[in-house]
């Protein structure tokens, strides 16, 4: 299948999931379940990556500022802006494309090959609405929250590191954080987070939903979905930066 066939079928899947739910209560339950799976399930990995991301940024930024004429107050500003603008939304979403994307693709793929999706269709349930929509909505709700958490933990990781290694004091770090802060950067990061959340949930859902074959094909579709999601996230990152900055 070529790109246009995949793209057309992807659009039809998105269109197909926009129908009236058969039972709102059950759909709500499924949405909450997915929020827990995607949001709470990714909390650990997001927290660890964010803290180390900030910590390493702090050390490397300090290492590169060797000119005594440059104030070290610039270190927290560099950490803040890199974490908010790029590390938290993009790096975290690329990681989540692997964690959440592979889970979505393999879950739907397994349901497809074991005929569970057919069983739901036979019951008269719109499987795109019941299985795909809650995953995408849950990702759009929870992933931006995780990105905000990543921003906070990344900046805090940098703070702990500069204090522990004696680069600057925490007071200087806090003062630096508040200097030349642009709230628009947070808005830009959130735009990226919402866009990437949609990408890393809908693309794996497409690959999982339309998988054909057996367990080998589930693995292949899961891997392909992660690779495609990551590439699309990076392309979208460039486009958003070009448009919004």
Nearer to another protein, 81 or 121 (CB): 121
d(CA 131, CA 133): 6
Residue linked to tokens 């809908």: 202
Nearer to another protein, 68 or 124 (CB): 124
Nearer to another protein, 121 or 217 (CB): 121
Phi, psi of 10 (to 5 degrees): -65, -45
Helix or strand (DSSP H, E) at 75: helix 74-82
Residue linked to tokens 């074959």: 213
Nearer to another protein, 77 or 106 (CB): 106
Look at the chain and count its residues: 245
First-residue to last-residue Cα distance in the chain: 36
- Six-digit token string for 11: 């659009």
- The residue ranges that bind another protein (CB under 8 A) are 22-23, 26, 110, 114-116, 118-119, 121-126
Q: Is 41 helix (H, G, I), strand (E, B) or coil?
A: helix
Nearer to another protein, 115 or 174 (CB): 115
d(CA 129, CA 105): 16
Please report the DSSP string for 155-172 in residue order.
HHHHHHHHHHHTSS-HHH
């Amino acid at each position: 299948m070529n790109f246009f066939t995949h793209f057309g079928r992807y659009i039809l899947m998105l269109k197909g999931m926009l129908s009236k739910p058969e039972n709102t209560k059950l759909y709500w339950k499924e949405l909450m379940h997915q929020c827990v799976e995607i949001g709470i399930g990714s909390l650990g990995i997001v927290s660890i990556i964010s803290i180390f991301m900030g910590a390493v940024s702090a050390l490397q930024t300090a290492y590169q500022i060797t000119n005594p004429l440059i104030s070290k107050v610039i270190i927290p500003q560099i950490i803040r802006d890199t974490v908010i603008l790029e590390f938290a939304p993009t790096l975290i979403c690329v990681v989540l494309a692997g964690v959440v994307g592979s889970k979505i693709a393999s879950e739907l793929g397994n349901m497809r090959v074991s005929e569970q999706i057919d069983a739901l269709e036979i019951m008269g349930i719109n499987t795109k609405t019941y299985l795909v929509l809650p995953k995408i909505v849950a990702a759009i709700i929870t992933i931006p929250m995780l990105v905000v958490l990543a921003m906070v933990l990344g900046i805090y990781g940098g703070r702990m590191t500069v204090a522990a290694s004696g680069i600057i004091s925490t007071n200087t770090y806090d003062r630096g954080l508040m200097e030349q802060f642009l709230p628009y950067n947070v808005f830009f990061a959130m735009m990226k987070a919402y866009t990437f959340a949609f990408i890393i949930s809908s693309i794996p859902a497409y690959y999982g939903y339309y998988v054909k074959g057996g367990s080998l094909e589930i693995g292949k579709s899961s891997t392909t979905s992660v690779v495609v999601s990551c590439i699309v996230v990076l392309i979208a990152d460039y486009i958003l930066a070009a448009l919004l900055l």
